[in-house]
Amino acid sequence: MKKNKKIDNTVKAVNKNVRCSPRKIGLLLDHIKGKRVNLAIRDLSFTKKRISLDIKKTVQSAIANAENNYQYDIDNLFIKEAYVGKSIVLKRFRPRAKGRASQIKKPYSRVTIILSENKNVEAKHGTKS
């Protein structure tokens, strides 16, 4: 996984080779987009899809980057962007009738998670004190 890109108050984590099609991963990413990180991890933990564990690992990597590299408060982090792109495609062949062969494509995906720190939460805590 490639890590560490900071723009303003954002932190990025990229998982380059996830063994699943981008279409299936996109469904899960749409589900967690805009949520706070603790809620996103909870939702991914209880999702029945196999690929949710890899996405959860990428989100946790982004959280670790934010905490260790930029000293962000984990409680204020939310998922600003989550998107998926195509990566390599393994091509395999399967024997068919009459001596023919058909192609089987095994796609890989590239998952990108961008976290941002919510400044409004800090302002609310500052005014209450």
Q: What is the pLDDT of residues 24-70, one digit of tens each?
A: 999 999 999 999 999 999 999 999 999 999 999 999 999 999 999 99
Q: What is the pLDDT of residues 96-109, one digit of tens each?
A: 999 999 999 999 99
Backbone φ, ψ for residue 51 (5° rounding): -75, -10
Task: Write the DSSP assignment of the chain as a string of letters.
Answer: -EEEEEETTEEEEEEEEESS-HHHHHHHHHHHTTSBHHHHHHHHHT---TTHHHHHHHHHHHHHHHHHHH---GGGEEEEEEEEEEEEEEEEEEE-GGG-EEEEEEEEEEEEEEEEE-HHHHHHHHHH-
Do 43 and 30 touch, CB atoms closer than 8 A?
A: no
According to the model, what pLDDT value does residue 9 have? Answer: 84
What mean pLDDT, rounded, does the chain reach? 89
Q: Domains of the chain (ranges plus CATH)?
A: 2-123 (3.90.470.10)
